Amino acid sequence: MNELNGYDIEDLEVGMTATFSKTITEADIILFAGASGDTNAIHINEEFAQTTPFKGRIAHGFLTASTISAAIANHLPGPGTIYMSQQMNFTGPVRPGDTVHAEVTVKEVIAEKSRALLSTVCKVRNNVVVDGEALVKTTSRARREARS
């Protein structure tokens, strides 16, 4: 692993896994609503949220999914990684105070294109709340050396 660039494509192997965990706070939800413009009452109005099937406020799906981005950017493949695509299924709610555990696992290494296909999942108390897969472009030691 290169500290500045994370794992190069040459270092990745199918089955490698990394995690990132974050407790979703009230501040996270309010700041995400402001940054994204998504001010849906299900996220910010407890009285309204009580009238929904969730019986209370829930975090934005993309706030929850952002923990996947943190696992990819900070751990696997790490710094220098570029998102190409992300497919997600939202399967359960995340409430203020819940801790989200994101896990990414290398499913496929496409060495000639410096790309990796990752399985992505978020859990709260061992319940899957988001699952899917991501395609990322990684750094390459061979390409860096060829430019030198």
Average pLDDT by stretches of 10, the chain with 148 residues: 77 97 98 97 97 97 98 95 97 98 98 97 98 96 74
Domain span holding position 63: 9-147
pLDDT given at position 26 = 96
Two tokens at 144?
């860096």
In a domain, 142, yes or no: yes
Q: Does 37 reside within a domain?
A: yes
Amino acid 4: pLDDT: 64
Question: Which pLDDT score is estimated for 117?
Answer: 98
CA dist 24 and 33 (Å) reads 13
pLDDT at site 142: 77
Q: What is the pLDDT of residue 146?
A: 72
- Does 4 reside within a domain? no
Domains held by the chain: number:
1
pLDDT of residue 143: 74
Handedness of CA 71, 74, 75, 76 (dihedral sign): positive
Tokens of 95: 């409430």
pLDDT at site 120:
98
Q: Are 81 and 115 in contact (CB under 8 A)?
A: no
H-assigned helices in the chain: 26-36, 41-44, 46-50, 61-74, 141-147
The answer to whether position 93 is within a domain reads: yes
Q: What is the CATH number of the domain that holds 134?
A: 3.10.129.10
What pLDDT is recorded for position 6? 82
Residue 3 located in a structural domain? no
- How many CB atoms sit inside 10 A of residue 32's CB? 19
Under 8 Å CB-to-CB from 31, ≥6 apart: which residues? Answer: none
